[in-house]
Amino acid sequence: MNDLMGKHIVLGLSGGIACYKSAELCRALIKEGATVQVVMTEAAEHFITPVTMQALSGRSVYGSQWDAREPNNMPHINLSREADAILVAPCSADFMAKLLHGGADELLSLMCLARPIDRVPLLLAPAMNREMWAHPATQRNMAQLQQDGAAILGVGSGDQACGETGDGRMLEPEQLLEDLVAFFQPKLLAGKRVLVTAGPTFEAIDPVRGITNLSSGKMGFAIARAAREAGAQVTLVAGPVALATPRGVDRINVRSALQMLAACEAQAPRADIFVATAAVADWRAADASEQKIKKDGSGLVPQLRFTENPDILHTLAQGERARNGALFCVGFAAESHDLLANAQAKRARKGVPLLVGNIGPATFGLDDNQLLLVDAQGSRELPRASKQVLGRQLIAEIARRLGRHE
């Protein structure tokens, strides 16, 4: 997908054992389409060599403000002016303190200070011992750096090189990559709260069997990630799927349609947008058995009775907040045939302003999709693309309908 195509990232390394993660981060940035210029402090070179980072980035590594390769002897000016962003990963406690006070006694801090602050963002990925992270001085420094315009990407929690366990680990390369990609996305839904459902539901027949479908949840997870990238606060109500939660998204796991309805009704009063992507089972067993239903050798088939599940989208779309315009509802229709006709009928039946249709068997479990947007004025196709690209296009479409533009 190459989300960073055309972006030039200056990757700064300050001293810390987490420098070993910076090698993989550099690879990930380049794989995503970015060009990467590595700048290292002297302390960083005690943990990983410039040769390693040069091999991974395909560019000579800079470490001195007196580097003679620059004709004007001003690498702090030249490198910062070329960047679309400066990402310091790892960013040690010492380097955070230096940035806070405008220290500039080596190239990386000098470059951060000299960058055009209005067009070259500074992103920091802290990495330090848990006590250093929790220290009031570090927390004060972090708060002031954020106030000064730097973006703090947070820390992970777990085992640390010192043998202790807690907060302060540098985020994993894939997490930092996701955060950087999100940083560059337009914040079309800043300040909005988005509620998304995703995946199938599972309706138990007995403790080991049930009714479900082939939905993987990938489309709903992509929409949740896209909404978070657009600046929204996102809650994802997920059926039983084995997908990682998008960064910055609050996740509520459910199994059945009744559980999904309860979760959505609890979250809806605080939501501005509801996107019902989940493939909810239409029916459930009227009397689920508490024990496994076994064959008895008679050849007789157990008689199962079914009852209709509640319509989650219709329930929320007919609520007071949706009717007075406070909750914008978007439905999904996974059809097997006659997509346009079925999607139009479903939109009218559900009473929603926008319904998104797709052919379920042609997309379940895949990483790409093709969508049909249906509203009162007609329909429009979103051509086949990755689900993440389509998720961003749908979020942009929702933002446009809410009067929010870049």
Q: How does pLDDT run across 342-378, given as a tens digit for each residue?
A: 999 999 999 999 999 987 777 888 899 999 999 999 9
In a domain, 406, yes or no: no
Residue 193 backbone dihedrals phi, psi, to 5 degrees: -110, 125
For 57, the 3-state DSSP assignment is helix
Q: Is 162 a catalytic residue?
A: yes
254 and 172 in a common domain: no
247 and 375 in a common domain: yes
160 and 14 in a common domain: yes
- Long-range contacts made by residues 385-390, C-beta under 8 angstroms, separation at least 24? 386/1, 386/222, 387/218, 387/219, 387/222, 388/1, 388/222, 388/225, 388/226, 389/1, 390/219, 390/222
Among 87, 11, 10, 20, smallest CA distance to 47 is for: 20
Greatest extent of the chain over all pairs of C-alpha atoms, in Å: 91
DSSP per residue, 289-314: -SS-----SS-PPP---EEEPP-HHH
The burial of 101, by beta-carbon neighbours within 10 Å (0-12 exposed, 13-18 middle, 19 or more buried), is given as: exposed
From 184, 202, 219, give the residue that closes a domain: 184
In a domain, 3, yes or no: no
Residues 27/32/38/43 CA torsion (nearest 10 deg): -60
Which tokens sit at 245?
Answer: 């939660």
Number of folded domains that form the chain: 2
In a domain, 144, yes or no: yes
Task: Determine if the pTM surpasses 0.85.
Answer: yes
160 and 19 in a common domain: yes
In a domain, 320, yes or no: yes
CA distance 3 to 175: 14
28 and 166 in a common domain: yes
In a domain, 2, yes or no: no
Q: Which residue segment(s) compose the domain that 236 sits in?
A: 193-289+298-401
CA distance 139 to 119: 26
Looking up tokens 């199938």, which residue turns up? 200
Half-sphere exposure of 366 (CA within 13 A, CB side): 14
In whole angstroms, what separates CA 315 from the centre of its chain?
Answer: 28
- H or E stretch covering 163: none
Q: How does pLDDT run across 190-223, given as a tens digit for each residue?
A: 999 999 999 999 999 999 999 999 999 999 999 9
CA distance 381 to 373: 6
For 92, the 3-state DSSP assignment is coil
CA distance 299 to 290: 22
375 and 247 in a common domain: yes
Residue 275, pLDDT score: 98
Q: How far is CA 209 from CA 53, 199, 345, in A?
A: 52, 18, 32
Residue 147, pLDDT score: 97
Residue 1, pLDDT score: 63
In a domain, 276, yes or no: yes
In a domain, 360, yes or no: yes
- H or E stretch covering 316: helix 312-317
Amino acid at 159: D
From 153, 184, 215, give the residue that closes a domain: 184
Q: Are 200 and 243 in contact (CB under 8 A)?
A: no
For 382, the 3-state DSSP assignment is strand
Q: Choose, from 91, 112, 162, 329, the residue flagged as catalytic.
A: 162
* pLDDT less than 70: residues of the chain: 1, 405-406
35 and 18 in a common domain: yes
179 and 220 in a common domain: no
Among 146, 232, 143, smallest CA distance to 182 is for: 232
In a domain, 69, yes or no: yes
* Helix locations, 129-278, DSSP H: 130-134, 136-147, 173-184, 218-229, 257-267
CA distance 32 to 124: 19
CA distance 109 to 98: 7
**Length of the chain as a residue count:** 406
Which tokens sit at 114?
Answer: 């000299």
- Long-range contacts made by residues 67-72, C-beta under 8 angstroms, separation at least 24? 67/107
Which tokens sit at 134?
Answer: 């929790």
94 and 62 in a common domain: yes
- H or E stretch covering 242: none
179 and 202 in a common domain: no
Q: What is the CATH number of the domain that holds 17?
A: 3.40.50.1950
395 and 326 in a common domain: yes
237 and 375 in a common domain: yes
Looking up tokens 């402090």, which residue turns up? 41
From 184, 206, 230, give the residue that closes a domain: 184
